[in-house]
Amino acid sequence: MIPALTKVNRRMEKTPSRSTIKQSLEMSGEISEKYQSSTSQ
C-alpha cells in the first residue's frame, strides 16, 4: 500500500463516506463540465 493512499483511506473512514463521495463526485463533475465547455469553444 502507498502511504498517501492509506492516509486518504483513514480520513475517509473518519468522515461520513456517503457525503464525501457525493461531494467528490459533484466536484469532479463540475470540473469536467468546465473543462469540456472550455475545450469546445
In the prediction, which pLDDT does 26 show? 84
> Hey, what's the cell of 15?
468522515
Q: Phi then psi for 33, rounded to 5 degrees?
A: -65, -45
In the DSSP assignment, the letter for residue 7 is H
The set of cell numbers assigned to 28 is 469532479
How sure is the predictor about 41, in pLDDT bands with cuts at 50, 70 and 90? low
- What is the DSSP track for 23-35? HHHHHHHHHHHHH
For 6-26, write each residue's pLDDT tens digit.
776 676 666 666 777 788 888
Contacts 24+ apart (CB under 8 A), 34-41: none
pTM: 0.35
